Every structure is written in C-alpha cells, then in structure tokens.
Chains A and B, each alone.
Chain A
C-alpha cells in the first residue's frame, strides 16, 4: 500500500465515520482510497470532497462534536487555509476522535514552499504522530482516534511526500465499530467566548505535561543504546530509515532516538544529552527539533544538523545526505551526461488551457506582457515556455485579489486566470471585493470541470460558475462564456479584447472538459459497451 492508502485503511479500520479533504499533492490519495473501499461504502462513511481545507476541517470538527471519529486531510499549504479552525480546535478540543493528516512536501515536488507542519502543531499545542514507514502510518491512523478521545484533543498525523507516495506491505488490525452520536459532556466545550476560552486554554496548557508523558512511553519513540557515545542521533520519521540504510543490517554504532511522537520526550533527550558528546538531528523539513535543542545562542548542547551545515538547510533528506552527515564514504555511479536536458511538466496534448492561453496571449501582447495573475493548478504551467503567459502563482485564490490590487494601483488591463476548482476554493470572496468596487479587471475562469492537477477529482464548481458570479453581483452583460478550441480562436480573441477594454469588472468563463477526465470517461463508456 501507498503510505496514503495505509493511513486511509488504518482510519477505516479504526472506526472512522467520515473523512473530509480538498485534493492536494501528496495527500490526495487518502480520501480517494476511502472512496473506493468496500467497507466505506458499506458503512456509508462520509467521503466526498470539500470545497477547501477550511470547510473540510470545520466539518471534521462538527463530526467530532457529534461524537464520531473523523479524519481531515490536506497538504501542508492547505493547513494555512485551515489555520483558523486548526489553532482554535486545540482550545475547543475534540469529542469523537479527530485526526488531521497533514502531508508536507520537502523539496517542493509539487508545491510553492516546504513549510514544516510540525512547527504549526507546536504553535497550536497539538500532539503529532510522524510515521517512519507505511505500517506505522496505518497504526497511527488506527490508534490515533483513541488517543484523541483519551485527551479530548485533535491530533496531527504528519507525513511527507516520500512516505505518502511510497509503497510497502501493511498488516491490518481488527476492524473497530463506529462510535454512535454522543454530544459533548460539557455543552460549552465548543463555545470559545473569552471567559470559556481562557479556562480551556489553561486546560490545554496543563495537558501538555500528560502528552509529554505519553511521548516518553510511546511505542513510536524508541531509545536504542549503543557503545559509541561520541555522538547520539535523533532520527525523526522517515529519517530513521535513511539512517539504518547506511549500516550493515541496520546496526548503528551510536545511540539513536527514533522519534515518531511529539511533544518531545524530555527524559529520553535528557539521557542522550547526558551520555553523548554531541547530537546529530536528522529530520525531514525544517530544523524544528534541532532549533529547540540548540537554543538561540547555541551555547549549550553540541547539536549538529541543518543549522550548522552538517545537513543541507533545505530540501528532502535521502540516504546519501544522511551518509554525508555521518561521514560515511560513498561511491556514486557516473555523472549524468551533459546532453541530458530537463523535461519540465507540460500541458497534455489537446488541453483546453492551451487554447485559452493562445487567445489570451494574443490580446495581452497588444498591451504588453506582465499583467496576468494566475493561480494554483495545471494552468500554472503556462509560466513556462512556450507560453510565458502568467506573472504570478502564490496561493489558492490570489489571482483574483492580486489582479484587483494591481488594478487599484493603475495597471490596466489587469487580468486574473483561475481554474474552476480553485475559484470555488478561494476565489469567490476575492471576486466579491472586486464586485463591491466594480474594479476594472478581467477574471478568466479556465473551467475544465475538474480538479485536474491532482488527478481529476470532482470539482465543487461544476454547473455553478456563472450562477455564482451573477449571485455575488457581477454584471451579467460582462459574464462571457467561451469554448477554448482552435476553431474559435478569432472569436475568443475578440471577446477577450472587448472585456479587457471594459472599464469595470468582467468574467470570462473559458469552458472545455479536461482532456484526461474526457479520456477516462470514454474508456469507461467503451468498457461498458464491451460488457
């Protein structure tokens, strides 16, 4: 099973009644797995996509309020969108078991940054589980609900791309029954009025000591002693595997603390500090543990890791990086020949975005490039040659609001490009800002009817785009719908030109089905016919 699939299976077997998520690499396969799991169908586990990560997390919190076990999944940057419910849910606490599975993407394989969600969990005072392999991922999801219910707290299951998208055997446990609906014992538990919140925040602070005790005794945290005390190694999550890889039969000559549960187990770390001359911290993501141990001035413990250059400051770990940190000699194969060229991702042949951008570029060129604000999705690929069509990609929905800001500053025409799924995720509120001021700008909604980049999940925008625009007050005369096909090129150019010239807010819906979902649909039709 993929790490993502192991988590989904663990959650189902652990008695989950609902999963809420918005697609985002590398977390997408978790909910997808639940959608295809027979037991999920049999139990009617909630498993539809949410509109964004914030709505997903709030639905999760509601299901927890009602006493049932629930998982909420997203990629790391999705947690920024859901930060408000995330931080506050530590103070409300949980009722039914509540797990937030957050998938970080060190090395930015498919992301804008490589932020480390452990830092946000620490900020919110939420306990974290970090698996080192697929079996632990299953086990943590399976037992995480119980842990959450024991402390009446949401827990974070933090994974990285490598674990999410790597496959290995997983042994399942006995399937647990679901919880029945049961309201919180304290009817004001979820009411964060200041007077209540102050009291609950104190409770949350008090719980930290108990959580630390749990970490000391956790099966996921292991102190493995060894003779060579010149160095002790703290290996978080997957880093433990890279460490073992570098020694015959996994026999590390130094004491090792294998870390899979936070807050940090103080006694275990104290022991390592007492017994070893120095400490090497191996962690995927930010130097979260390392910074804590090192302290601001670095004058206490001798800590090595990302901050002193023993390990590179950024990027994903791998067995070779860990070998270098350990001073192990390595022999690589021959260098990559110079003739090997980069092969960046590109639009699929026949993709509707291509025709949208071809028309748009022709019109934009009449004014000069540098005025197109885009968003997160397949259509971001237009930043690359031969299109070089877009000038921004920051966060979900930022195309609309950045175009508005640039228009406010006097840039005319100002153009935003967003996909249908990203529009409903976070574009609508920004568009309302532009409606209120009738901001001169044109929003192109490149509508392929799916969440394409993550593999074609259902888009909550389908069938609603024009109505949403009209509903929040965009002038219907300036909501134009076009079909991005080569044969419509001249007409599409003309329409774009008209709306770019309009001194107010306009929306162009450029609609054609994603070529990938179309292919899949046709293949299924064909298969049905054959049956």
Chain B
C-alpha cells in the first residue's frame, strides 16, 4: 500500500500543517514516510507544494514522479491545477474553492472552476466557510484534510488520533475544534464524491 500526496497552496497558507497531521497518523500505524517541503524564497506568497509519500514498504525518491500522485490536496483552487502533470489517471483532486488572489493577473474564478470540473475525480469544497460555520476560521486546513481523508488509505480513527496528539498540548477545546473540522470535511467529501 502506497499513497502519494501532493499538497499545494500559497506560501503562508500553512499546507505543512496538513502534511504534519497526515504524517503523524502514518507514523502511528508504522508506515514509512518521506516528505519534501519548500522553504525559502517561495514562502513569501509564492506558489508552494509539498510531496508527501506514505507506504508500508521503503520509499526511494523524496519526489513523486509525474503521473503517479494519488491525490492533490490544494488549499487554493488555481494551485490545484498547477500540479496536474503529477496526477495519476485514477487520482483525485481535493481543493478548496476560496481563491487567494495576490497577483494582478489571477484568472477568472469561473474559468478556474471549469478547469477543475474537467478532471475525472475531484472534490471542491469551500473549506473556509465550513470552518467559519464551526466558529473557527483557522481550522480550514483541517476541513481540507477531512475532505481528503477518504483517499489516504489511513483510517479516519487514526487521523483523529493523530490530531489529538498534535493539538493535545493546546487543550481539549482546540482538539475538539479540529476534530469537528475534520469530520465536517469528511462528511462533505462522502456526500459529494
């Protein structure tokens, strides 16, 4: 069992918090893990991505080969399209629909959405609104993780446990907010896949 995940977003959006949650869950069930991150210049509002690979066998490359990714998790709609060459024919796109517009030539949002809809397997989720409804705007990345959770080959309970471990130090309230966000994302994905 191997899952190759591309995480995409804009520098500062915190895609690494999603990676850390998946990573924590993967380690709980003794999977091998490699995760390539972008540090440095692009973190200043540029496009950023992270390659996360989990497997029950040893993993060779830190980078996912093009055409092999099982899922693209993007916290920004245009960024989900940037990495299409990496997606396998059976792979899924799970993307937030809230655009992050920090360039003057950002395309028409409708065109971006149409491009996503041209793909075979996709979930489009307004993670920011869902997080807001739950009363915690900051947990939108956990909503995204929940939406991606059916495709990760990791049980939902293991993901929950990972989140408890990561946020445990910050108290029960923070843990519960993030668990609720995870669940809301999961429910949305189950209904809309």
Contact = CB atoms under 8 A, between A and B. Distances in A.
Interface in A400-457: 453-455
Contact of A166 (B10, B37, B84, B119): B37
A241 B67 contact: no
Interface stretch (A121-129, A139-147, A316-324): A316-324
Interface in A306-353: 318-320, 323, 330-337, 339-348
B60 A244 contact: yes
A331 B10 CA distance: 27
B61 A245 contact: yes
Interface in B7-58: 10-12, 23, 27, 32-47, 57-58
B62 interface: yes
A104 to B, nearest CB: 13
B81 A336 contact: yes
Interface in A326-383: 330-337, 339-348, 378, 381
A222 interface: no
A25 interface: yes
Contacts of A188: none
Nearest to B115: A337
B44 A346 contact: yes
Contacts of A216: none
A36 to B, nearest CB: 16
B78 A340 contact: yes
B181 interface: no
Contact of B63 (A319, A346, A348, A386): A319
A172 to B, nearest CB: 16
Nearest to B52: A167
A76 B111 CA distance: 42
B89 interface: yes
Nearest to A4: B39
A28 B44 CA distance: 16
Nearest to A337: B115
Given A109-B41, A453-B41, A162 B85 contact: no
A478 to B, nearest CB: 32
Q: Is the interface of A mostly helix, strand, loop or mixed?
A: loop
Contact of A335 (B84, B106, B107): B84
B112 interface: yes
B82 interface: yes
Nearest to A169: B33
A165 interface: yes
Contacts of B115: 337, 339
B61 A242 contact: yes
Contact of B44 (A2, A243, A381): A381
B65 A166 contact: no
A238 interface: yes
Contact of B84 (A165, A333, A455): A333
B87 interface: yes
Contacts of A346: 44-46, 102
B60 A250 contact: yes
Contacts of A347: 44-45
A274 interface: no
B39 A332 contact: no
B111 A339 contact: yes
A203 B59 CA distance: 43
Interface string B101-122: 0111111000110010001000
B11 A345 contact: yes
Contacts of B81: 336-337, 339-340
Interface in A164-207: 165-169
Contacts of B185: none
A163 interface: yes
Contact of B65 (A25, A110, A320): A320
A163 B34 CA distance: 10
A332 B63 contact: no
A26 B39 contact: yes
Contacts of A334: 84-85, 87, 119
B44 A109 contact: no
A319 B45 CA distance: 27
A411 B137 CA distance: 53
A290 interface: no
Contact of A238 (B62, B64, B87, B119): B62
B62 A241 contact: yes
A492 B22 CA distance: 49
B69 interface: yes
Contacts of B45: 343, 345-348
A111 B62 CA distance: 21
A29 interface: yes
B162 interface: no
Given A241-B62, A250-B60, A340 B43 contact: no
B60 A332 contact: no
Given A333-B89, A334-B87, A343 B67 contact: no
A214 B171 CA distance: 53
Nearest to A164: B39
Give the residue among A238, A334, A336 with the most B Cβ atoms within 10 A. A334
Nearest to A2: B37
Contacts of B65: 245-246, 318-320, 323, 330
A345 B84 contact: no
B39 A166 contact: no
Given A320-B66, A337-B115, A25 B85 contact: no
A341 B39 contact: no
Contacts of B35: 166-168
B170 to A, nearest CB: 10
B88 interface: yes
Nearest to A343: B47
Contact of B41 (A25, A163, A249): A25
Given A25-B40, A345-B41, 13 more contacts: A162-B36, A162-B62, A245-B65, A250-B58, A318-B63, A319-B64, A330-B65, A333-B66, A336-B81, A336-B83, A343-B102, A344-B103, A346-B45
Interface of A: 2, 25-26, 28-29, 109-110, 162-163, 165-169, 238, 241-246, 249-250, 318-320, 323, 330-337, 339-348, 378, 381, 385-386, 453-455
| Among all A-B residue pairs, the 5 with the closest Cβ atoms | A25-B40, A110-B40, A345-B46, A333-B87, A245-B61
11 contacts: A25-B40, A110-B41, A166-B35, A166-B36, A245-B60, A336-B82, A339-B112, A345-B45, A345-B46, A346-B44, A454-B40
